[in-house]
Amino acid sequence: MKNYYQILELPNYAPAADIRRAYRRLVLITHPDRTPDLAAHDRYLAINEAYEVLSHPVRRQYYDALLRQPAVPVKVEASPAEELHPDPAMRRRGRRRPQLTVPTTQPLHMRYAAEFGRIVPRLRIVAGLSLVLALLVMVDFLRTKILPNEAVQDFEYVHELGQNNAATYFVVSTQHAKFEVEPTTSLTKDDRVTVYQTPWFGKVRQVSLYSEQLKGVQLQLEGNPEVSRAVMDELSKGVHLRPHSFGYAWVLLALVVGSGVGIFYPPLRIDHAFNLGFVNSVALLLLIVYLLFM
């Protein structure tokens, strides 16, 4: 296989800027309008062929993958003496030296380098969009707004059957929010709650209970500050949100950001970039499902 880097008088895997400079320099020397030498004309054609491959990102990725492929070993015919088995007992039986078989199967990333090179640019576009969405989710989280004095209006009992266990919880609705609580939560209709909710995606981060019962207990225990503090701490835990309020989102965000940034890392091998792009696409899909339906 031709080494296009050597044709351009460059080391293997040279940067794109060096390739452009070398091409311009060598074309000026070998152009048919500048020299009548036929050898220079052949070299001019080879330089253009090399630059046509190395200047195109996808073609260059495919070529670099082939260039990294180890050369297929050439089978050398052994002499009759070399073909004899090294063990004397085997030689007496007429056995020959066993032939070593060298696997010539190309690695996976070599065989599919062209396909990876065609798909990876599209995955990078998806990764860029996923990073924008991840940024919006984080900004939305930081801009959490407070909905004070929300009245509990309705309870909806939900019972989900799983393969190993069942999940039960209440979906609580207020004037401007909806959230989930455990079935053991001490919360009744017309209780007043403060809801901490993100403004864009409407995800509830925290709910605090401020009912008349809580105020009454606080007044009764003012004479004993230590007991009052302990009881108030327990009552303030009256609402327990289900953990998927933002727990799953952070895991998905970490996958989206990690894989989205990693796919743009320049020295990354083409098949590794494809794997990161696939992980990024799946994490992005799950994040969208979470934002829209959970």
pLDDT 10s digits, 164-223: 777 788 888 898 888 887 777 777 788 888 888 889 988 888 888 765 444 444 334 344
Question: How many Å separate Cα 60 from the centre of its chain?
Answer: 24
pLDDT at 223: 43
The stretch 158-169 carries a mean pLDDT of 75
Taking only the tens place, the pLDDT of each residue in 98-150 is 554 444 455 555 566 677 778 888 999 999 999 999 999 999 988 989 888 88
pLDDT at residue 285 greater than cutoff 90: yes
**pLDDT above 80 for 49:** yes
- What percent of the chain has pLDDT above 90? 21
* Most confident of the following: 53-62, 156-165, 246-255: 53-62
Please give the radius of gyration of the chain, using alpha carbons only, rounded to the nearest integer.
Answer: 35
| String of DSSP letters for 124-152 | HHHHHHHHHHHHHHHHHHHT-EEEEEEEP
Quickly state the pLDDT bin for 90 (edges 50, 70, 90).
Answer: low
* Span of 90-94, 166-170, 237-241 with lowest mean pLDDT: 237-241
Q: Which of 6-15, 72-81, 246-255, 261-270 has the lowest mean pLDDT?
A: 72-81
Confidence class for position 267, pLDDT limits 50, 70, 90: confident
What is the residue-averaged pLDDT of the chain?
Answer: 76
Ramachandran category for residue 227: left, alpha or beta (phi over 0 → left; psi -120 to 50 → alpha) = alpha
**Do 173 and 202 contact (CB within 8 A), yes or no?**
no
pLDDT at residue 292, rounded to an integer: 87
Tell which wins on pLDDT, 228 or 219: 228
Give the mean model confidence (pLDDT) for residues 221-250: 51
pLDDT the model gives residue 19: 92
State the pTM of this model: 0.53
In whole angstroms, what is the distance from residue 256 CA to residue 260 CA?
6
Confidence of residue 59 (pLDDT cuts 50, 70, 90): confident
Residue 288: C-alpha distances to residues 133, 245, 283, 284, 292 (Å):
9, 14, 9, 6, 6
- pLDDT at 41 > cutoff 80: yes
pLDDT at 18 over 80: yes
Q: Identify which of 210, 211, 233 has the alpha carbon closest to the alpha carbon of residue 221.
A: 233
